[in-house]
Amino acid sequence: GAGVSQTPSNKVTEKGKYVELRCDPISGHTALYWYRQSLGQGPEFLIYFQGTGAADDSGLPNDRFFAVRPEGSVSTLKIQRTERGDSAVYLCASSFDDRGHGYTFGSGTRLTVV
């Protein structure tokens, strides 16, 4: 596609529920990243995929967070037993190599846990 697409753009969920956030990267981009951004802060790294595999998941805050990229294209970030502190904008980015060239962000999914 022309850009990185993230769906939904907004998600409101109740505390304790499970949510899935989807990212559709630019076609041909092998690297895909998830970040989380709180108000007034820069994005914080969550996980990085090179192809289908998670090359670096050191940013995932705990085992309630999980992400997959089964065919090396679309990725899904999954959050179990959501907590109010999970509320943030979740940003996905892709790049055509693993050194950040062509780094392109999606518009994000604003997650609100009530």
Burial 44-71 (b: 16+ CB within 10 A, else e): eebbbbeeeebeeeeebeeeebebebee
Q: How far is the CB of 80 from other proteins (least distance, A)?
A: 23
Q: Does 91 bind other proteins (CB under 8 A)?
A: yes
Q: How far is the CB of 37 from other proteins (least distance, A)?
A: 9
Quote the CA–CA distance of 96 and 87 in Å, as a whole number: 29
Q: How many residues bind other proteins (CB under 8 A)?
A: 28
**Identified binder of other proteins from the candidate list 93, 94, 111, 113, rule CB under 8 A:** 93
Q: Does 42 bind other proteins (CB under 8 A)?
A: yes
Q: Which spans of this chain sit near other proteins (rule: CB under 8 A)? A: 4, 31, 33, 35, 40-45, 48, 50, 55-56, 58-59, 91, 93, 98-101, 103-108
